[in-house]
């Protein structure tokens, strides 16, 4: 698949994005989606639906639901016929019944072990709270599955800049023992006052994870490369 040039990559997220499949515990996962895939996960209320909507410039793509113990599902969205965005069920709800927690774990196990398309999981963390015990449970599951993790602090507008910087450092330190976690911690806000901070960074990280980013639009320059031909795109 050819890499997207910068202008094309910026329009990908404002183009068509359609719901294609919902998988719940005990059900099958789609096997015919063909595109590289990235998934979003985090504790309930972390701002996952808001972030997915902001990334794709929509108001209602990802439904916001706050009912604990409600049927949990893995939602698949086709973005411009180039990649699949996956909305994973939240966790960490204090009142969630035991059966719901068990279903969540089983759904994660099935999803994470049966997705050769999966390139990266974006782990959302509330800026005001930092990593919680339930995030560490998830990180251990992701470690066993060997899935690359991009940490993202959400609701950055709700913190003062110094507090956000401290939370970023603290998160980086707490994630260091996890080899699957990428070292850079992104921070986002979906509030107009937050000027949609960090949303373009997350879009770039998605494209990079999927091998779809044009070389010139990458932030860092690869100096080890010494004028070779452009590497062939990853499938
Ligand atoms: N201050 C602030 N609040 C946010 C932001 N994103 C989401 N929220 C709020 O956090 C709550 C949970 O958001 P939602 O997207 O439904 O979280 P989800 O349960 O993880 O899908 C809602 O009240 C949102 O309005 C943000 O960037 N800044
Ligand atoms: Mg939600």
Distance 176 CA to ligand 1 centre (A): 27
54 Cβ below 6 A of ligand 1: no
Task: State residue 217's pLDDT score.
Answer: 52
Q: How many domains does the chain have?
A: 1
* Joined tokens for residue 89: 């069920």
Pocket residue to mutate for ligand 1, from 42, 43, 45, 60, most atoms within 8 A of Cβ: 45
* Whole-angstrom distance, CA of residue 177 vs CA of residue 65: 32
Question: pTM of the prediction?
Answer: 0.88
- What is the largest distance, in Å, between two alpha-carbon atoms of the chain? 57
Q: Which of 206, 180, 191, 203 is nearest to 157 (CA)?
A: 191
Nearest atom, ligand 1, residue 154 CA: 27
Is 233 within a domain? Answer: no
What is the overall mean pLDDT for the chain? 86
Is 116 within a domain? Answer: yes
Read off the pLDDT band of 235 (50, 70, 90).
Answer: very low
Distance 72 CA to ligand 1 centre (A): 19
Task: State residue 194's pLDDT score.
Answer: 61
89 Cβ below 6 A of ligand 1: no
Q: Which of 196, 190, 195, 219 is nearest to 207 (CA)?
A: 219
Q: For residue 200, what is the domain's CATH number? A: 3.40.50.300
Task: State residue 145's pLDDT score.
Answer: 95
User: Which region among 19-28, 52-61, 177-186 has the lowest average model confidence (pLDDT)?
Assistant: 52-61
Is 45 within a domain? Answer: yes
Is 202 within a domain? Answer: yes
Q: Tell me the residue range of the domain where 101 lies.
A: 6-213
Instruction: Read off the pLDDT of residues 53-72 as tens digits, 9 standing for 90 and up.
Output: 999 988 777 664 455 545 68
């Amino acid at each position: 698949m050819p890499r997207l040039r910068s202008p094309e990559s910026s329009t990908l997220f404002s183009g068509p994005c359609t719901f294609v499949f919902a998988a719940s515990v005990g059900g099958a996962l789609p096997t015919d989606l063909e595109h590289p895939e990235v998934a979003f996960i985090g504790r309930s209320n972390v701002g996952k639906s808001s972030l997915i909507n902001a990334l794709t410039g929509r108001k209602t793509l990802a439904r916001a639901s706050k009912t604990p113990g409600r049927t949990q599902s893995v939602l698949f969205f086709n973005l411009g016929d180039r990649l699949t965005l996956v909305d994973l069920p939240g966790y960490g709800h204090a009142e969630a019944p035991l059966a719901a927690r068990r279903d969540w774990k089983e759904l994660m196990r099935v999803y994470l072990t049966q997705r050769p398309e999966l390139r990266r999981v974006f782990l959302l963390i509330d800026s005001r709270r930092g990593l919680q015990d339930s995030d560490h449970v998830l990180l251990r599951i992701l470690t066993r599955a060997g899935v690359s993790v991009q940490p993202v602090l959400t609701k950055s507008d709700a913190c003062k800049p110094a507090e956000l910087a401290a939370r970023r450092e603290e998160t980086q330190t707490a994630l260091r023992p996890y080899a699957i976690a990428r070292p850079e911690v992104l921070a986002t806000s979906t509030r107009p006052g937050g000027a949609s901070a960090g949303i373009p960074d997350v879009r770039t990280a998605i494209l990079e994870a999927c091998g779809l980013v044009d070389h010139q639009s990458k932030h860092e320059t690869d100096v080890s490369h010494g004028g070779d031909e452009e590497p062939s795109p990853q499938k």
